[in-house]
Structure 1
Amino acid sequence: MIRVAIVDDEALVRSGFRLILSAAPDLEVVGTFDGSETTDAIVGGKPDVVLLDIRMRGRSGLDILHDIREMPTPPAVAVLTTFASDDHIARALGDGAAGFLVKDTDPEQLPTLVRSLAAGGIVLSPSISRTVIDGYLGAGDRAASRLIEALTERERQVLARLVAGESNREIGSTLHLSVGTIKDHVSAILRKLGVATRLQAALVSERAGLTTSFSAVDR
């Protein structure tokens, strides 16, 4: 079972997400929270994935994200936002969010996205503004392209599968490589691109034109 925690200050959102996810046989919602609880309470059920509202009337979702990412073995965190142009997205990217979802994401896609996150994949709603991505990356297309050019051909292949939302195991199966070898390639990719997370690497790739979509959201 994949264990999921939902943090949002709107009761309707919490109950709706719980209903959708609980209907999947392999997903278990271990807790729903309104943001007033401590980080320890949120992760007390040992979730594999946390769906976290970025804007709450109580405690900031960004503060909760920071605390979670400081944990020795943190769960994957996908940030929920109502606005695709939310100005907090850049900070959440820097703090290690594994994905971004607008709250009107197709309910039929939600279980698949959670599974992708739990497997180490990344998710990004297509409606997240390109200007927000540009603002986070800072460097232009040409600079991003130079970073990509520093990768080996095999690293580019791994990066392309990473952008598709695949886990290390799935990438290894596609490329006929061991999981350990894929982990080594991913570490090298992050180092060469100067980023800390798989999602950040995917955004550099998208900026350089190597990839044009985050298919984990669409499949």
Structure 2
Amino acid sequence: MTVRLVIADDQAMIRAGLRLVAETAPGIDVVGEAADGREALDVVRRLRPDVLLMDVAMPRLDGLGAARRLLADPRPPKIVMLTTFGTDRNLHAALRAGVNGFLLKTSPPELLAEAVRVAATGDALIDPAVTMRVIASFAGGPAPVERPELDALTRRERQVLNLLARGLSNPEIAGALGLGEATVRTHVARVLQKLGVRDRVQAVVFAYEAGVVRPGQGERPCGGG
């Protein structure tokens, strides 16, 4: 399957670089570009791409505002957000809005292509460095929210959720727990189902809000057998 991609960034050189990376990756077809959030709305609604790769900080309408509007449409694209350490103040809000990924502009090209493909399948990918920003955004924040859904997780599923929240990929989780990747995929699917979340990104947000992982702390006691 070829993934139809639109790229939105206010810097022409960045758009050109992203296009080059995307078009050299198998199975990705760049069908349009936008220079700001308002143009992204028009281009996406006209071309109906599978995935929108969009910068957070843009003029006229920023990436977060554009994402919220597009995700309210009847047939929204999957959205992968791009950020730098200086422009990610809306990271948590974007994750809660339902985007399908978050990458740094310094992420390696192969991670960008993977994020686009993963988003097209309905799953999500967060750059591990961005996950560290998620952790930081919860430091000094409100107390964890009690979530009874955690009680439905087995001990192994809690371990998987903990590692998901720390930004590990399925192969990395498999290595950490001594499991096969197919088994990890099954555990991840069960975690998402039991928590009632759509994808890995939402599972990460859930984990931090529920206090499964907190900055400087390990996993809380398991709530399942």
Q: 1:152: Cα distance to partner?
A: 3.3
CA distance in 2, matches of 1:136, 1:201: 21
Counterpart residue number, 1:57: 59
Structure 1 residues 185 and 162: CA distance shift in structure 2, 3 A: same
Matched residue, 1:68: 70
Query: After alignment, is 148-157 or 91-100 more displaced?
Result: 148-157
The answer as to whether partners of 1:98 and 1:117 remain within 8 angstroms in 2 is yes
String of CA shifts for 1:54-79, please: whole Å, max 9, x gaps: 11123221211011110123111111
Amino acid at match of 1:61: G
- Pair 1:147–1:105, CA change in 2 (3 A): farther
Give 1:2 deviation, angstroms. Answer: 0.6
Distance across 1 between alignment mates of 2:25 and 2:120:
14
- 1:217 alignment counterpart: none
Q: 1:189 aligns with which of 177, 192, 195?
A: 195
What whole-Å deviation, never above 9, does each CA across 1:106-134 have from its counterpart, x for those lacking one?
113221121111112221122221212x1
Q: CA deviation at 1:48?
A: 1.2
Q: Distance in 2 between matches of 1:209 and 1:97?
A: 21
Q: SS of the residue aligned with 1:41?
A: helix
CA RMSD, 1 decimal: 3.5
Equivalent in 133, 136, 139 of residue 131 of structure 1 = 136
Secondary structure at the aligned position of 1:37 is classed as helix
The 8 Å contact of residues 34 and 40 in structure 2, kept in 1 or not, is answered as no
How much has 1:209 moved relative to structure 2? 4.2
Count of paired positions:
193
Structure 1 residues 105 and 45: alpha-carbon distance in aligned structure 2, compared to 1, 3 A threshold: same
Q: How does 1:65-214 map to 2 (within 5 A)?
A: 65-83=67-85, 86-128=88-130, 129=133, 130-132=135-137, 134=138, 138-140=142-144, 143=145, 147=148, 149-153=150-154, 156=157, 160=161, 163=164, 174-175=182-183, 186-190=192-196, 198-205=200-207, 207-209=211-213
Asked if structure 1 preserves the Cα contact closer than 8 Å seen for 2:9 and 2:58, the reply is yes
Larger Rg computed on CA atoms: 2
Equivalents in 2 of 1:69, 1:158: separation in Å? 31
TM-score (structure 1 length as normaliser): 0.72
5+ unaligned residues in a row in structure 1: which ranges?
Answer: 167-172, 213-219
